[in-house]
Amino acid sequence: MSEDRAAALAAFWNARYAGDDYAYGTEPNDFLVAQAALLPVGLPVLCLADGEGRNGVWLAARGFDVTSIDIAQQGLDKAQALAENAGVTIRTERADLTRHDLGEGRWGAIVSIFLHLPRRARAALHGRCVRALAPGGVFVYEAYGKRQTEFGTGGPPEPALLASLDDVVAELDGLRIVHRFDGVRAVHEGRHHRGDAHVVQLVARRST
């Protein structure tokens, strides 16, 4: 992503997170909650594009060592406030995920919830996620699918930013897929995710 595009994206998300309320609420994503038992205990968790911290803080409250990354400092500041209110600690890092180094064999889990990137950038990021997982590590992914523009209940208006299940599976080459779903479910998260939606879900594990 160019510096100008990254700056524009950061400005958009900083504006969205500027209010006193939490744009997507303070409760964790339903799908993440349902899959949390699969996350390895005792290994650090990376939350991609964690915004105002609802998913990272929820995981920290369950004993995970969490790092939350986002492009918007406003979101990360509110994530730290949410963590303090919950009596937990998370690390936050501002970064452009299209360029950020995730490390090698470092994370017990990587969580990507409603992160929407152009296909080439998404594929590159997912390749780095595969390499960044520790042996036995788990990748948890939910994003809006290709038919989401028909629903208009959240997510980006640009069809190019919406995910195809087959594409995401291919991008996670090297991981074993343990759950996949491509269909409609109700998503109610704050004022921006608000009703039935077309989603793509995946859980994948790196071999031990």
Q: Which of 57, 56, 100, 92 is nearest to 76 (CA)?
A: 92
pLDDT at 2: 75
pLDDT at 6: 87
pLDDT at 102: 98
pLDDT at 173: 97
pLDDT at 4: 77
Q: What structural domains does the chain harbor?
A: 3-206 (3.40.50.150)
What is the per-residue DSSP string for the chain? Answer: --HHHHHHHHHHHHHHT-SSS-TT-SSPPHHHHHHGGGSPTTS-EEEET-TTSHHHHHHHTTT--EEEEES-HHHHHHHHHHHHHHT---EEEE--TTT----SS-EEEEEEES----HHHHHHHHHHHHHHEEEEEEEEEEEEBTTGGGT-SSS-S-GGGSB-HHHHHHHTTTEEEEEEEEEEEEEEETTTEEEEEEEEEEEEEE--
Q: Both ends of the chain: CA-CA distance in Å? A: 33
Q: pLDDT averaged over consecutive 10-residue blocks of the chain (208 residues)?
A: 82 93 97 97 97 98 98 98 98 97 98 97 98 98 98 95 97 98 97 96 95
pLDDT at 146: 97
Token pair in block for residue 195: 């009703």
pLDDT at 170: 98
pLDDT at 64: 98
pLDDT at 103: 98
pLDDT at 92: 98
